[in-house]
């Protein structure tokens, strides 16, 4: 159900095409009302696809898959991945894979890249946010600690910046919320442009 209050003029209720609790928490933290409708799409990386093209495509596919069920409603899709040395590091397959990922990040700087898409009916807008994250060098015991305590299996790169991984992160260059899972400023900027374009064309 739509909320009819003073926030509607700035933050109309949207449909979040994601099951990520972190994305839900970020939207809720800024007072952006939403309902969740989780899409089921193939998230495989295509041959020769760049990380930027990959996350932007998935974000748009997620939002588009849900938009048909919600005519006239604004749908938000997002996809986040970790890139180290040009290689996409997705979610770990198991705990051994999580340990491998964390070890590869130890003492290195990697990029967190999120694709964002807004879709309403046949209209869409997309964008990409990149943030650099530097980890301190970690001992075997610290890697094991982060793997065991950090709940890594549902997270790109096998870590959450706002949890145990914060012990080992030396620096973040760029949007912190992007690393959490949703660059909320980019979402809002896309929304503002989306609405202006729609009003200009007479479609809203």
CB burial readout 89-99, b (16+ within 10 A) else e = bbbbeeeebbb
CB 31 within 8 A of CB 93: no
Point out the catalytic residue in the list 37, 79, 111, 175.
Answer: 79
Q: Please state, as a whole number, how many other Cβ atoms lie within 10 Å of the Cβ of residue 169.
A: 15
Which of 139, 179, 172, 137 lies closest to 156, judged by CA? Answer: 179
List CB contacts of 153: < 8 A, sequence separation 6 or more. Answer: 91, 92, 94, 95, 98
Pair of tokens at residue 127: 């964008």
Q: What is the Rg, in whole angstroms, of the alpha carbon atoms belonging to the chain?
A: 18
List CB contacts of 109: < 8 A, sequence separation 6 or more. Answer: 132, 133, 134, 135
**For this structure, is 79 an active site residue?**
yes
As annotated, the active-site residues are 79
């Amino acid at each position: 159900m739509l909320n009819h209050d003073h926030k509607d003029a700035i933050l109309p209720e949207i449909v979040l095409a994601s099951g990520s609790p972190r994305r839900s928490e970020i939207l809720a933290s800024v007072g952006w009302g939403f309902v969740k409708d989780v899409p089921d799409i193939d998230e495989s990386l295509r041959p020769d696809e760049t990380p930027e093209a990959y996350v932007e495509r998935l974000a748009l596919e997620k939002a588009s898959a849900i938009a048909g069920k919600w005519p006239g409603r604004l749908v938000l899709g997002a996809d986040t991945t970790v890139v180290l040395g040009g290689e996409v590091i997705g979610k770990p397959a198991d705990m051994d894979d999580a340990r491998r990922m964390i070890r590869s990040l130890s003492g290195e700087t990697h990029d967190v890249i999120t694709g964002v898409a807004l879709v309403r009916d046949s209209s869409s807008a997309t964008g990409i946010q990149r943030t650099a994250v530097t980890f301190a060098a970690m001992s075997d015991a610290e890697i094991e600690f982060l793997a065991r305590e950090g709940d890594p299996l549902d997270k790109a790169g096998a870590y959450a910046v706002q949890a145990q991984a914060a012990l080992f992160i030396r620096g973040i260059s760029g949007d912190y919320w992007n690393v959490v899972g949703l660059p909320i400023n980019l979402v809002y900027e896309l929304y503002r442009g989306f609405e202006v374009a729609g009003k200009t064309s007479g479609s809203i």
